Amino acid sequence: ESWAAFSSAERSAAITRLCSKYMADWHGTQTGIALQQTAEDLVQEFGPRTEHRIILVTDFQEGSDFGSLLTGIWPDSVQVTLRIIRPLESGNASLHTMVDRRTAKLLVRVSNNADATTTHFTVRPLNRAGLSAGPDVPVNVVPGRQVTLPLTSLTLTEDAVSLSLVGDSHKFDNCVPLPVTSSRTWSIAHAGSTDVNDASRMRYYLQRALDGMARDADPDSSTEPQPEILDTVTSDGLTLPVPDDVKLAILTEAVPVKLLPSLKALLDRDGIVVAALTSELMAQSIQALLPEGMTITEASVSDYAMLGRIDFEQPLFAEFSDARFADFSSVRFWKHRAIGLAGPDSSDAEEAARWTVVAEFDSGMPAIVRIRREFAGEVYLLASGWHPDDSQWALSSRFAPMVTGFLNLAHPAELEYQQVLVGDSFNPATTVTSSDWIIELPDGSLQSCQAVDSRKSEVTQITVEQPGRYTIRSTSADDDTTVTLLAEIDPNESRTAPLPEGQLYALGLAAENTQSQDPVLAMKPPESRRPSADQLESQQKYWRWFLLAGLCCLFAEAVLAAIIHRRQLETA
Say what the pLDDT of residue 129 is.
Answer: 87
* One-letter identity of residue 384: S
The DSSP letter of residue 225 is -
Say what the pLDDT of residue 477 is.
Answer: 60
Residue 230: which H helix or E strand, with range?
strand 226-231
The model's pTM is 0.56
Question: Facing residues of 324 across strands?
Answer: none
Angle (CA) 372-247-97 rounded to 5° is: 85
Say what the pLDDT of residue 348 is.
Answer: 45
Question: Facing residues of 357 across strands?
Answer: 369
Taking the C-alpha atoms of residue 378 and residue 178, their distance in angstroms, rounded to an integer, is: 30
- 3-class SS string, 174-192: CEEECCCCCCCEEEEEEEC
pLDDT in tens for each of the 572 residues of the chain? Answer: 788 888 888 999 999 998 899 888 999 998 889 988 998 999 988 888 888 888 888 888 889 888 887 777 888 888 888 888 888 888 999 999 988 876 667 899 999 999 898 999 999 999 988 899 999 999 999 999 999 998 888 888 888 899 999 999 999 999 999 987 655 567 899 999 888 889 999 999 998 888 876 655 544 444 455 678 889 988 888 889 998 888 899 999 999 999 999 999 998 888 899 999 999 999 999 998 888 888 899 999 888 999 888 888 888 887 787 777 777 888 899 999 999 876 544 444 444 457 889 999 988 899 999 988 665 688 999 999 999 999 988 888 888 888 888 888 887 654 467 889 999 998 888 888 777 888 989 888 888 877 665 445 445 788 999 999 998 888 776 566 788 899 999 999 999 988 876 665 666 554 343 334 444 444 444 444 445 455 555 555 667 788 888 889 998 988 888 888 888 887 76
Q: Where are the alpha helices (DSSP H) in 269-393?
A: 280-285
Among candidates 536, 538, 414, which has minimal Cα distance to 483? 414
Say what the pLDDT of residue 508 is.
Answer: 55
Measure Cα distances from 251 to 22, 26, 175, 394, 473 in Å.
65, 53, 45, 15, 39
Say what the pLDDT of residue 493 is.
Answer: 93
Q: Where are the alpha helices (DSSP H) in 371-437?
A: 399-410, 428-431
Taking the C-alpha atoms of residue 252 and residue 274, their distance in angstroms, rounded to an integer, is: 9
Say what the pLDDT of residue 535 is.
Answer: 52
Among candidates 546, 539, 519, which has minimal Cα distance to 59? 519
Taking the C-alpha atoms of residue 492 and residue 507, their distance in angstroms, rounded to an integer, is: 19
Handedness of CA 417, 423, 427, 430 (dihedral sign): negative
Measure Cα distances from 1 to 6, 11, 34, 52 in Å.
9, 12, 20, 18
Q: Count other Cβ atoms within 10 Å, centred on residue 509.
A: 20
